[in-house]
Chain A
């Protein structure tokens, strides 16, 4: 009953559109592009993960070895260490970026003057190509002539050369700093856009009702911008390529695998070692990880939307 009623409404609305239902028509371009550029190559690489494919030996593309690559991976301690490290990096980085981004957005939104300049500055790190960010932070964290140690030594905070990119935890922090510097802007700008699109009446109402600023934020502003925060979260968790370029140049997983992440491991295996089949198997395991993250945020997003009453 309700379904037919809905369809009737739809019919009325899309009266000028041709036979195909409007949403299908509207979504067609997106589906076509994604199918061509992502789905087809993906099937190829899925297939190659069941072969011992080596770039320099094209004939190996046609040798089928079933799940052997995957079996090897499951027993590979280095792979799982990298897996765990990647999850840790993603979790820490995303949460910190989210918090910092939120803080920045709120501060910028409150500013009465220079909004345009502030917003442009806010996005400044996004103008930097990730490989540039990598080079830049590698130089800054250089233990001997890097900016960070020079500044610390000049200010008398430390008398030694801190091996930023060597010591396991420090290297992790250095990578984290680079990653956060380059990506917090994504959160900040999305949350800011959410703040800007927010209707002013509820805020007024809250003030009239005598809410404290914290209460206003917690019960009025936050539910409204939460979907944007989750969008940013998901987009960032997907955007692995960016972090890869940074890590590749800063440490390339070293020294002694202390900062090895899935992405550095996969790409070294794929191209330098030329073992594309194995690398694709790794990639598929890591896709699982991304899917988990995505589905998690996706559900959060849906929940946040229900909360502010948007239909789903």
Chain B
């Protein structure tokens, strides 16, 4: 009996160890290429491209960052403008996509109406259009409307890009929230609107948070449409700015890595903050139990 207990405990401990090791290995693989980029931004090119490789950095410096901010024409790029554009466009389009997605997701999750599955499928299928079939006609339309190279144009495009996705995701999460909860709240005297905000919305929190992260990251990193619809510092975003480090025959890999780090940090920070809401969604989910 005691033996069995001991072996059971051993097994559990081993399992735990394996779990930790597995987790560590997975995280290493995930982070390695990223850390390599961070490292590349700090090392002189001769070390990055060395053969035999220099595994341990010999020389670290912030030269690439200093150069980046030192102004156009002096080895720099208009990074502040790009950053501003990226931020305005990504945040606005995310907020709008989430709002539109919440409305749509709620409609699909809570109402029955004719042609529902058809409409749902139709919305999703708008995403099957390859960007290339879209980019030139979109350019035609935008050129006629005069919204090439504006924040508005890109925000519209990104909202459209993200809406099917947010609707779907949020719909999935609203479905997980038991209907009787909201109904109970209404019986308790809440309006439908209040019931939504006070009961269903908090419970669907994790879904909305993850839809938000996805939408934000998609807009933050999108390249193909941005390269077609933007032109100058008025609206060029960071991913398009990456190409400032390429010339016809040369590429400044270190500079590109430095800009990549500048791009990644805000996204990482935001993700880290939003994580909390993923968790709080869970805890409030436990409340009902």
Contacts and interface: CB of A to CB of B under 8 A. Distances in A.
Which DSSP category, helix, strand, loop or mixed, fits chain A's interface? Answer: helix
B123 A128 contact: no
B129 A42 contact: yes
Interface stretch (B66-74, B75-83, B112-120): B112-120
Interface residues of B, number: 100
A267 B133 CA distance: 9
Interface string A230-248: 0100110011110011000
B133 A107 contact: no
B169 A231 contact: yes
Contacts of B223: 129-131, 245
Contact of A30 (B50, B100, B276): B100
A22 B111 contact: yes
A205 interface: no
B285 A197 contact: yes
B289 A131 contact: no
Contact of A244 (B131, B163, B268): B131
Contacts of B167: 30
A228 B268 CA distance: 23
B275 A120 contact: yes
Contact of B53 (A15, A37, A147, A199): A147
21 contacts: A30-B101, A34-B123, A37-B156, A38-B160, A125-B33, A130-B223, A131-B243, A132-B37, A132-B260, A137-B33, A145-B49, A196-B282, A199-B285, A234-B168, A235-B127, A235-B165, A238-B124, A241-B222, A241-B224, A244-B130, A294-B124
Interface of A: 6, 10, 13-16, 21-24, 26-27, 29-31, 33-34, 36-42, 44-45, 48, 55, 103-104, 107-108, 110-111, 115-116, 118-132, 135-137, 139-140, 144-145, 147, 150-151, 154, 181, 185-186, 189-190, 193, 196-197, 199-201, 227-228, 231, 234-235, 238-241, 244-245, 262-263, 266-267, 270, 276, 279-280, 283-284, 286-287, 290-291, 293-295, 298, 302, 305, 310, 312
Interface of B: 19, 22-23, 26-27, 29-31, 33-34, 36-37, 49-53, 55, 99-101, 103-104, 106-108, 111-113, 117, 119, 121, 123-134, 136-138, 140-141, 156-157, 159-160, 163-165, 167-169, 172-173, 175-176, 191-193, 206-207, 210, 213-214, 217, 220-225, 238-239, 242-243, 253, 256, 260, 263-264, 267-268, 271-272, 275-276, 278-279, 281-282, 285-286, 289
